[in-house]
Amino acid sequence: MNKHTSMLGAAGVISIAVLAGGCASSVERPDGKLQSAESAVEKAVSSGAREFEPVLLNEAQNRIADARELIEQEQYLEARRQLEKASVDAQLAGARADTAKAKQAVEEINNSIESLRQQVDQRQ
């Protein structure tokens, strides 16, 4: 009887622990996330995000800076979220920069086609 009760008690403790763990998942230091966020920013910069998407790029960089402070304060969960956001912000900034550059390239090549066509027409 007594034994049974204590087992139930143990089950209760375990379920509490499991639920608590589910609620505040990953309290690990998000060093990997920090790295990938930083490399996402680097990649965005090399795509020309500083020129084409400075606001979004800046946002990503601010999130990384915030995350560093949160890590200092051992608020790993919130730091991790900031870093995940920073990564996708930076990726989007880079992707938009790529698109913008491609648009420019289309414009340039169309202009050169237009001027070639004019030259061809003139000569005929």
The binding site for other proteins (CB under 8 A) comprises 4-5, 8-9, 11-12, 15-16, 19-20, 22-23, 81, 84-85, 88-89, 91-92, 95-96, 98-99, 102-103, 105-106, 109-110, 112-113, 116-117, 119-120, 123-124
Q: Which of 107, 59, 111, 106 is nearest to 83 (CA)?
A: 59
Q: What is the dihedral of CA 48, 52, 57, 59, to 10 degrees?
A: 170
Give the residue with the Cβ less far from other proteins, 15 or 35: 15
Give the residue with the Cβ less far from other proteins, 71 or 94: 94
CB of 109: closest distance to other proteins in angstroms? 4
Give the residue with the Cβ less far from other proteins, 35 or 119: 119
CB of 13: closest distance to other proteins in angstroms? 9
3-state secondary structure of 6: helix
Distances (CA, A) of 24 to 18, 27, 123: 10, 7, 74
Give the residue with the Cβ less far from other proteins, 38 or 98: 98
H-helix or E-strand spanning residue 43: helix 31-46
